[in-house]
Amino acid sequence: MTYLHRTATRADLPAIVDIYNAAVSARTSTADLDPVTVDARRAWFETARHPTWVGHRPEDPEHVTGYLSFEPFLNGRRGYDVTLDLAIYLHPEHQGRGQGRDLLRRAIDHAPRLGARTLATTIFAGNEPSLRLFRAHGFEEWGRLPRVADLDGVPKDLVIMGKPL
């Protein structure tokens, strides 16, 4: 299946929040335990130093099917500006169809234009599809934080992955 991406706009924020909240409910890719609101995510979106991209099918560019954000690494301390933290979230109906692959490939190609020399991401150890995706694109495990999250009584290990550009 083919997916395209474009830079997210304010009008995409409700879809981004819906996709993120599906991940909150699934308990596989975020440590947030409660759904977020559009108002709560507005500042994140409007003050971002780097773009957020939304994925869509070629025939319907307004229907958001996933998103990728380039986040500051370790709370945005300036010395880390050469490293970007990637976050990819896909609508459940569009997972496993190549959208994550397409977004990640484009992010790897684009990141040097944002000043990045390194990309990083954190993934729960049990999220094998995401681990496979990043490994397939040259990311390596740089560390593992055991049992650092608790999702409804289920302890989760966090895998830190990275890729020099």
Q: Residue ranges per domain, the chain?
A: 4-118
At 32 the three-state DSSP class reads coil
Nearest-Å Rg of the Cα atoms of the chain is 15
Residue 116: what are its φ and ψ, rounded to 5°? -85, 140
Joined tokens for residue 30: 């975020």
How many residues would you count in the chain? 165
Query: Would you state the pLDDT for residue 1?
Result: 80
Cα(84)–Cα(104) distance, integer angstroms: 13
CATH superfamily of 4-118: Gcn5-related N-acetyltransferase (GNAT) (3.40.630.30)
DSSP conformation letters of 52-117: EEEEEBTTBTTS--EEEEEEESGGG-GGGTTEEEEEEEE-GGGTTSSHHHHHHHHHHHHGGGGT-S
Task: pLDDT tens for the chain, 165 residues: list them.
Answer: 889 999 999 999 999 999 999 999 999 999 999 999 999 999 999 999 999 999 999 999 999 999 999 999 998 789 999 999 999 999 999 999 999 999 999 999 999 999 999 999 999 999 999 999 999 999 999 999 999 999 999 999 999 999 999
